[in-house]
Amino acid sequence: MSKIYYTLTDEAPMLATHSFLPIIRAFAGSAGIEIEVPDISLAGRILANFPEYLSEDQRVPDALAALGELAQRPEANIIKLPNISASVPQLEEAIAELQRSGYAVPDYPSEPETDEEIAINRKYSKVLGSAVNPVLREGNSDRRAPKAVKEFAKAHPHRMGAWSSDSKTSVAHMESGDFYGTETSMTVENDGEFRIVFYGGDGSESILKDFAPLLSREVIDSSVMDISALKSFVAEAIEEAKEKDILLSAHLKATMMKVSDPIIFGAVVETYFKDVFEKYAGTFEELEIDGKFGLATLYEKIKGHPKEEEIKEDIEKAIENGPRIAMVNSDKGITNFHVSSDVIVDASMAALVRGGGKMWNRDGNEEDAVCIIPDRTYAGFYEAIIADMKQNGAIDPTTFGSVPNVGLMAQKAEEYGSHDKTFQVTEEGKVKVEDRNGNVLLEQNVRAGDIFRMCQAKDAPIRDWVSLAVRRARLSGTPAIFWLDKERAHDSQIIAKVERYLQDEDLAGLDIRIMDVKDAVLETLKRAREGKDTISVTGNVLRDYITDMFPILELGTSAKMLSIVPLMNGGSLFETGAGGSAPKHIQQFLEVGYLRWDSLGEFLALQASLEFLAQSTGNKKAGLLADSLDEANAKFLANNRSPARKLGQIDNRGSHFYLAMYWAESLANQNEDPELAKEFAPIAEALRDNETKINEELIGAQGDPQDIGGYYHPDREKTYAAMRPSATLNEIFE
C-alpha cells in the first residue's frame, strides 16, 4: 500500500489536522493510500526523548528520528505542517503541562551542574529551536505561489498600509563586532574531521565540540558576536528612538537560532532596563532571572517576592523614561520585550512592511518604529525594502509580480545547522576550529560573554541548489537571481561555487544573475512593481525571510504558498506554509470556539503529494485524486471559502467541508475511472444536499470556550470532538 506521512504538529495546525484528517483518509483510501500521522509536536518530541522517565503505556516512538531516516529514502512522501520551534519558556510550559498530566519528565536545567543535569540538558537541546526542519530537510526548497492563489489575490486584494516618504521607521544594525563583520570562511579540500577548542589567556584548553566529520569541498565559517559592542549598539538605538519620539522594537530569530538569538534578545532587554538589572542584581541572581527569557519570565519569577511591586514600578519608570516599546498584544500588555519567541523577525518585519512601516503602541495605535536587527548579515535586506517603500509607496497586490524562492537548506546548511557549534564563552581567549592533525582551520578572538558560531554548507546540497534554480528558471521562463553578498566571507565562497556549477548547466535562453542582497532586493521589487516575476535564489535564512515577506505583500499571508522540497535521494517533502499566526489562532479557538487558521497550504501540499505519489508509483487513482483536488482548490478559491474574519461565519472547519464537497463533486464528474466516480457520486450528493444543515452545525458550535485537555499535549478525543462538531458531516464520511 502507498503511504503519505502527514505530520501532527502544534497549535492551530494541530487543531486543523483533527478536522481535516478524517476527510483525507476517506478520499485517500479509495486509491489504496494509507495516511500515517507521525507526532512531531513539541510535546511528542519531549516524550520521545525521555522514555526512561515514563511508564510503558506512556512511551512514544521517536517519530522525528524515523522521519529523518525516511527522508533519505526514495519512497519518502512527507507533508510537514508548521511546528513550534520552541524557545526555553515554551519548552518549560510544555514540560509543566506534561507533568500536570502525569508524565514524569524531568525539569529543564537551564544551567546544569551535575552529570545528570548535563545529560538532561543535552536531551532537551534536541527539542529546542529548529529541531524539526534540519532533520527532515534532506533537499533544497522550491517555494512559490500557485497560479490560482496568485490570481485570487489579484482579484481580491488585501489591505495594505500606506507608506509615507517622511516615515521615521528605520532598521538599526551594528557597524562592527557582529557576525557579518567577524566572519571568516573557507572551502575544505579533503575529507577529514574537525573540533572546536577554546584556549584561555592563561593557557587553559576546553573542548567545546569534539571531533566531527568534514567532507571535501564543503564550506565552513566562523564568526563572533561581540557582546560589549552589541550592548553599546543597543544603547545607541534606544537613544535614536527617543530622539525620533517613535517606538523601539527588537526583531530576531530566537526560535530557529536557539542558542545565539536568545542571548542577543537578553542583551537588548538588559540594556533597555540597565538601571533595573543593576539595582536588583542580587535579587535577580537569587531568583535566577536572565534577560534572555524576557519580561514575561521576569514577572513570573518576582511574583510574591517582597520587592515585586518595587521592581514593577522601576520597570514602568524605565519605560516612561525610555522610548516607547512596540507591543505584541496591546490589549494584554505584552511588549516586544516580553518573550523572545514573540519577535520572529521574518513574520514581524513582513507585518511592519505590509502595515506601512507601523507597529502597535500600548494604546493599540500604530506608530513608526526603530527596528533593532543587530547583525548586518540580513539587516540590509529589510533596510533596502523600507527604503524602497519610502521612495515608491506601498505595493499594489492587483498588479504586483511574484517572487518564488529556491532555497539552500539541505543537510543542515548554513546558520540553521549551527546549534551544536554555537557557544557563549565565559572568559577572554581564542576559539579555534582544528583538524585531526592540529591544523587551525578557523580562529576567532573572544572575550567573556561573546557568542562564537561555526556553520557548515556541504558541497552536494550547493550543487543541487544551483541545478534546482536553473530547472525552475527554465520551467517557468522566469529570471533567477542568486542573492549573494560578495563582501560577506561565506557568500564569497558560495559565489565561487555557483559560478563553477553554472558552467555545468544549460543556460541557453535563461536570465541567471548573481547580485548583492541590497541590489537584488531593489531589482526584484522594481520588476514586481512592473508585474514581472523573479525567482530569488538564496541561502537558508534569507529563504525564511523572503518567503514570509513577499507572500505577505503579494497574497496577504505566507500560509498560501506551495512549498516543495525535492529530496536529494528521490523522495519529496511538502511543507504547508508559515506558522507565525498559529498561537493567536489556537488562543482564539480556546476562548470562543472559532478557528481562523487557513488550511489552503495543507490543501496545496496534499495535491502535490498525491501527484508525486502517482508519478513515482504509477498509482492512477492517486493521479485522479490529485487532478480532482487541483480542481477543488481552484473552486475553493473562486468561491472564497477560506475562514472568514468574524465569529459566526465560516471558520477552518467550514472550509474543510467545502473543500471536501468540491473534491467529491470533481471525482464524481470525472470520466477516466467510472468506479471512482460511482463511489463518490453519493458522497458529493449528500454533502451538497446537506450544505445548509452542516453549516448550521459547524457555525452553531462557535461562541463558547473549548476544553481540549491541554495546549501542548491535548486530549485526542476532546480535540476531535471540538474540531468535528457536525454530526451530519461526520456520518457522511463514516
* Distance from C-alpha of 24 to C-alpha of 581, rounded to nearest angstrom: 24
Give the β-pairing of 369-372 and 170-172: parallel
Q: Are 237 and 323 in contact (CB under 8 A)?
A: no
Q: What is the pTM of this model?
A: 0.87
If phi > 0 it is left, if psi is from -120 to 50 it is alpha, else beta; for residue 137 that is beta
pLDDT tens digits, residue range 387-444?
A: 999 999 999 999 999 999 999 999 989 998 898 999 999 999 999 999 999 999 999 9
- Where exactly are the structural domains of the chain? 227-392
Q: What does the DSSP 8-state code read for residue 139?
A: B
CA distances from 717 to 18, 103, 699 (A): 10, 18, 20
What is the per-residue pLDDT for 241?
Answer: 97
Q: What CA–CA distance (Å, rounded) separates 326 from 339?
A: 13
E-strand spans in 145-262? 170-172, 184-187, 192-200, 205-214, 219-225, 247-250
Q: How far apart are CA 397 and CA 416, in angstroms?
A: 32
Please name which of 12, 81, 26, 79 lies closest in space to residue 723, comparing C-alpha atoms. 12
Question: Helix and strand tally (H, E) in the chain?
Answer: 28, 25
Query: Would the CA dihedral through 431, 436, 438, 440 be positive or negative?
Result: negative
Residue closest to 136 by CA, chosen among 461, 462, 565:
565
Render pLDDT for 579-617 as a digit per residue (tens, 0 to 9): 666 788 999 999 999 999 999 999 999 999 999 999 999
Give dist(CA 86, CA 130) in Å, integer: 8
Q: Are 35 and 102 in contact (CB under 8 A)?
A: no
Q: Which residues of the chain have pLDDT under 70?
A: 577-581
State the Cα–Cα distance between residues 207 and 278, nearest whole angstrom.
Answer: 33
Q: Please state, as a whole number, how many other Cβ atoms lie within 10 Å of the Cβ of residue 487.
A: 10
Report the C-alpha gap between 712 and 715 in whole angstroms.
10
Give 366's DSSP letter: E
Q: Which residues contact 282 (CB under 8 A, 6 or more apart)?
A: none
Length of the chain counted residue by residue: 734
Report pLDDT for 182: 98
Q: Kindly report the CA angle at 598 between 596 and 604, in degrees rounded to 5? A: 170
Q: How far is CA 417 from CA 221, 479, 490, 542, in A?
A: 12, 29, 14, 14
pLDDT at 368: 97
Half-sphere exposure of 660 (CA within 13 A, CB side): 29
Q: Which amino acid is at 133?
A: N
Element housing 728 (H / E): helix 727-733
The C-alpha cell at 426 is 565565559
